[in-house]
């Protein structure tokens, strides 16, 4: 388990001057925001490295690459965050060895630490997805989750993925917001935040309110989040970008319509109230509800609702050359 010795150190406590500078420097904003979030990101998004998230990650992979021959030998994750996607895919048997990369030193630190705690063969580097610091034909698989919408030049990043892939290697990206899905998700989140933070001002609900400094911190982070979220996608546009980058066997799929309409208010409410109020029973109930809505999406709604109305987009493609896995 290694981190590049030349990599910069995390900066989880940005100054006001740095935050102001980030509004005109998108890549600085990416670093500051994700360093800011790194140590609490898993808790914020209920990320784990157990059966629940292993099954989720493998499900996303299988949705767009159901016939892939597993395991891949060496995999790379772009914009790894805390390592959620690749580490859980490795536990699911998708890849044997992994490298995690992110523009944020804080995220690489947490991802490699998570990999070490899981006993996985993973190394990490601070890296820009538009200039991946690996040689041509290095990896068998490149993956990412909720990363493409942060990258200024998505097609360039996909070209870089194809460059570092071996011929016949595959990329799989999931968790990307669709244009229509992002619109209703943001509106639901903003409404839920406003209602929750106002209702919990009532004296008899004061113990359901986070300290004001934590709420202010979340609001500042949300302001930077609006800066770092650069794109939303129509699934057809994602397919065109991947093909234009040089990939073959390109396919985009979408998921989460009812699940997103339910999940975004729930996640926003959870961010606005103290953690101790969210009991294990509550969390399990929400997870089971999400599963039920996801089943409704998969079994019914995907047959009647156009794919661009679903919240999450996934895309896969293969580097031309040897037979794809």
Question: In sequence order, what are the residues at sequence separation of 6 or more whose Cβ sits closer than 8 angstroms to the Cβ of residue 34?
Answer: 81, 102, 103, 104, 106, 107, 228
Q: How many residues does the chain have?
A: 325
Q: What is the pLDDT of residue 46?
A: 79
Arithmetic mean of pLDDT over the chain: 91
CATH of the domain at 250: 3.40.50.150
Q: Is the Cβ–Cβ distance between 312 and 174 less than 8 Å?
A: yes
What is the distance between the alpha carbons of residues 108 and 110, in angstroms, rounded to a whole number? 5
Instruction: With cut-offs at 50, 70 and 90, classify the pLDDT of residue 24.
Output: confident
Q: Are residues 77 and 129 in the same domain?
A: yes
The domain of 314 spans 16-178+233-256+310-319
Residue 9 in domain: no
What are the tens digits of pLDDT across the range 25-36? 888 778 777 777
Q: Are residues 53 and 201 in the same domain?
A: no
What Rg, from alpha-carbon coordinates, does the chain have?
Answer: 19
Predicted structure pTM score: 0.89
Q: Are residues 132 and 218 in the same domain?
A: no
Residue 7 in domain: no
Q: What is the pLDDT of residue 32?
A: 77
Q: Are residues 63 and 23 in the same domain?
A: yes
Q: What is the pLDDT of residue 10?
A: 62
What are the tens digits of pLDDT across the range 196-231? 999 999 999 999 999 988 887 777 666 667 778 899
Residue 8 in domain: no
Residue that has been written with the tokens 């460059």 in this structure: 163
Q: What are the beta bridge partners of residue 101?
A: 125
Q: Are residues 173 and 186 in the same domain?
A: no
Q: Is the Cβ–Cβ distance between 62 and 41 less than 8 Å?
A: no
Q: Are residues 20 and 154 in the same domain?
A: yes
């Amino acid at each position: 388990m290694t981190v590049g010795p030349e990599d910069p150190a995390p900066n989880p406590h940005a100054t006001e001057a740095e935050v102001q500078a980030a509004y005109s420097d998108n890549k600085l904003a990416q670093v500051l925001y994700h360093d800011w979030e790194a140590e609490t990101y898993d808790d914020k998004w209920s990320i784990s490295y157990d059966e629940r998230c292993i099954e989720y990650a493998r499900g996303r992979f299988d949705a767009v690459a159901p016939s892939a021959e597993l395991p891949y030998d060496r995999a790379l994750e772009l914009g790894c965050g805390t390592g959620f996607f690749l580490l859980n895919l490795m536990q699911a048997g998708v890849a044997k060895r992994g490298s995690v990369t992110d523009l944020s030193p804080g995220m690489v630190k947490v991802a490699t630490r998570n990999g070490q705690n899981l006993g996985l063969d993973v190394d990490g580097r601070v890296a820009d997805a538009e200039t991946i610091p690996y040689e041509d034909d290095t990896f068998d698989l490149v993956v990412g989750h909720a990363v493409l919408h942060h990258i200024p030049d998505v097609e360039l990043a996909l070209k870089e993925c194809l460059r570092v892939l071996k011929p016949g290697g595959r990329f799989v990206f999931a968790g990307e917001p669709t244009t229509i899905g992002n619109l209703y998700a943001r509106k639901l989140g903003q409404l839920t935040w406003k209602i929750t933070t106002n209702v919990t001002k009532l004296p008899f609900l004061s113990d359901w309110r986070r300290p004001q400094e934590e709420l202010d911190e979340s609001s500042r982070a949300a302001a930077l989040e609006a800066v770092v979220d650069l794109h939303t996608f129509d699934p057809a546009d994602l397919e065109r970008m991947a093909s234009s980058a040089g990939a073959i066997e390109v396919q985009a799929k979408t998921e989460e319509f009812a699940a997103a309409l339910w999940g975004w208010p729930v996640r926003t409410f959870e961010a606005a109230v103290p953690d101790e109020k969210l009991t294990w029973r509550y969390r399990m109930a929400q997870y089971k509800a999400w599963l039920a809505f996801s089943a409704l999406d998969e079994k019914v709604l995907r047959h009647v609702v156009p794919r661009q109305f679903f919240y999450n987009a996934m895309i896969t493609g293969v580097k031309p050359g040897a037979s794809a896995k």
